[in-house]
Amino acid sequence: MTLSNLTTHLRQEDAAHHLHPFTNTRELNGRGVRVITKASGVHLTDSEGHRILDGMAGLWCMALGYGRSEIVQAVTKQLEELPYYNTFFNTTHPSVVEMSRLLSEVTPPQFNHFFFTGSGSESNDTILRMAAYYWDLMDQPERKIFISRRGGYHGSTVAAAALGGFGSMHKQGGVPVGNIFHAPQPSWWEEGGDLSPEDFGRKVANDTLALIDGIGSKRVAAFIGEPIQGAGGVIIPPATYWPTLAAGLKERGILLISDEVICGFGRTGNWFGCETMGTEPDFMTMAKGITSGYVPMGAVAVSDKVADVLIAKGGEFAHGYTYSGHPAACAAGVAVLNLLRTEKVIERVRDDIGPYLQAKWRMLADHPMVGEAVMTGMIGSIRLTPNKASRASFPEAADVGMATRNFSFDNGLVMRAVGDRMVLAPPLVLTHAEADELMEKAVRTLDMSMAAQRKAGLMA
Ligand SMILES: *Cc1c(COP(=O)(O)O)cnc(C)c1O
């Protein structure tokens, strides 16, 4: 295939001047980057004119799909009226006021105050500081330790990278912030052995509480977890995990932070993942779906329990970002929340397109190369394996996940690989016909990848 002049030109310029996130630049520049030029609905178009179904909703964020004029117009109007003003020095503006009120309506009842940021990472940095300060105000300044999980992802700023449980991040320059301990993850297929999923869920929760007791529970400020781990491979915990863990944290007086950056705003079939998992967090981290990815923004939902203390006793909380409550970002957020409500997007995920896609996705478990196929709401994964009976893994060096991802792209479907898990989180506005298209492409991808693994002698 000969590439168009446009593609060749953009690849050369990109290689010359652009450092990509989470990318081996040398490898990428050798291979040539893929150029996405436009998108509409749930489909991307690349610079060679290929149409690709976006099974990852961008990077988990494009819940309402591409090309929503309601959002574009709301942002445009805001940029014309008031493109920027800060919210620091006794000032506010209509769009941040409206966004805050709407968030109080859609979040669980304990949340009535919101702090705005530019991203999920910044939101977690904010929570880390706010939770530590809360315990100072509560005369328990010894509570400074945070517990997170192996395989958890909480962002890339220094605090967020330390909270995250990615060895690949920690080994580059070390763990940038101390006082953070990593608990096990509830990944039954990989680590559950002979236990039933329910027993394994309880065991991981109890192991986490034992870790906390070993540290001294009165030194622990908070536990942070994603309701369903996203970037760590869409690990859907057994039903026993969250209730056991949340009850143990409550007994010990430890704050619960639900990182809702992926699970929030409908992804799991409820407004927030904590509602699906049955927990009552003290903080929620929000980003991505909060603006459906149209404009960068994050937010922190602060429960009354924390906000009341902060407001009554905290004085000035010395923390804030230039773009906290950016008018255009809030305008996008308001438009998105209104669309989620008026189009009943979340009810549709819960009652219609979610169950429709789940039923088809779970059937992939019958494929010889798939160990398990799981999905809650519209977030799911399949675990690739050379032998499902023994729950075996492919050799890491073979990078079968990446190979499968490449077949998927060639088939016109974006699926992401996390090790040997293929993960899926399509736009929530997916139609039944588009779900059928997605599944056809996924099956073809698995068939092609399996043929390649057999040819390479990696699978019988
Ligand atoms: C993406 C993500 C973050 C970080 O958000 P950024 O906007 O990339 O900083 C934090 N937590 C979770 C669960 C995420 O998926």
CA 287 to CA 130: how far, in whole Å? 18
Packed helices 120-137 and 304-313: angle between N→C axes, nearest 10 degrees:
60
CA of 431 to the centre of ligand 1 (A): 27
Beta carbons of 120 and 289 less than 8 angstroms apart: no
The span from the CA of 63 to the CA of 428, in Å, is 5
Task: Quote the pTM value.
Answer: 0.97
Is residue 152 within 8 A of residue 232, CB to CB? The reply is yes
- pLDDT tens readout for residues 19-60: 999 999 999 999 999 999 999 999 999 999 999 999 999 999
The atom number, within ligand 1, closest to the CA of 231 reads: 15
Q: How many CB atoms lie within 10 A of CB 17?
A: 7
* Residue 213, SS3 per DSSP: helix
Please write the tens of the pLDDT for every residue from 167-181: 999 999 888 899 999
Ligand 1 atom closest to the CA of 121, numbered from 1:
9
What is the distance in A from the centroid of ligand 1 to the CA of 155?
5
Q: Check: CATH 3.90.1150.10 for 34-67+352-455?
A: yes
For residue 153, how far is its CA from the centre of ligand 1 (angstroms)?
A: 7
At residue 1 the predicted structure's pLDDT band, cuts being 50, 70 and 90, is low
Q: Where in the chain is the domain with CATH 3.40.640.10?
A: 69-342
Domain with CATH 3.90.1150.10 in the chain: 34-67+352-455
Q: Is 153 near ligand 1, meaning CB less than 6 Å away?
A: yes
pLDDT digits (tens, 9 = 90+) for 296-335: 999 999 999 999 999 999 999 999 999 999 999 999 999 9
Predicted local distance difference test score (pLDDT) of residue 236:
97
Q: Distance between CA 64 and CA 390 in Å, rounded?
A: 40
% of the chain at pLDDT higher than 70: 100
Q: For ligand 1, is residue 286 a contact (CB within 6 Å)?
A: no
pLDDT digits 0-9 by tens, 410-454:
999 999 999 999 999 999 999 999 999 999 999 999 999 999 999
CATH number for domain 69-342, candidates 3.40.640.10, 1.10.10.60, 3.20.20.70, 3.40.50.720: 3.40.640.10
Query: Cβ(161) to ligand 1 under 6 A?
Result: no
Cα 78 to Cα 53, 70, 83: the distances in Å are 31, 12, 6
